Amino acid sequence: MFSNMGDMSKIFEGMQENATKFQTELESKTFSVKSGGGMLEISMNGKGEVIDLNIDDSLLDDKDSLQILLIGALNDASKMVQQNQKSSAMGMLGGMGGMNPFAGK
């Protein structure tokens, strides 16, 4: 499969470059979800970290509604991030040519 160790080293370097690029792309993406007719908005980066949260002042007097809307928005944003991570990872594996260990299984 590998004619020498230099070939293997090049392949691993390429994989490391792809992983670094993947991380950078994730960090640069933003996913925003609105809930309660726009009364609550949450934004996450591609790594799943909350980077912004906006809450309408009227929700501050209704703790139960705020909790429900916040849980729903967090779950929706998290699903968006996970879906993006999966599709990005599949794209990265596809870009490795014949190196996909899952191909044909």
Kindly report whether the global pTM for this prediction surpasses the value 0.75. Answer: no
38, part of any domain: yes
State residue 3's pLDDT score: 60
What single-letter DSSP state applies at residue 32? E
Give the integer Cα–Cα distance in Å for 62 and 46: 30
Structural domain count of the chain? 1
* Residue 15, C-beta contacts closer than 8 angstroms, at least 6 positions apart: 96, 99
Q: What is the CATH number of the domain that holds 60?
A: 3.30.1310.10
Neighbours of 46 (CB within 10 A): 20
Along the 105 residues of the chain, how does pLDDT read in single tens digits?
556 777 778 888 877 887 788 778 777 899 999 999 999 999 999 989 999 999 999 999 999 999 999 999 999 999 999 998 888 778 766 655 544 445 444
72, part of any domain: yes
73, part of any domain: yes
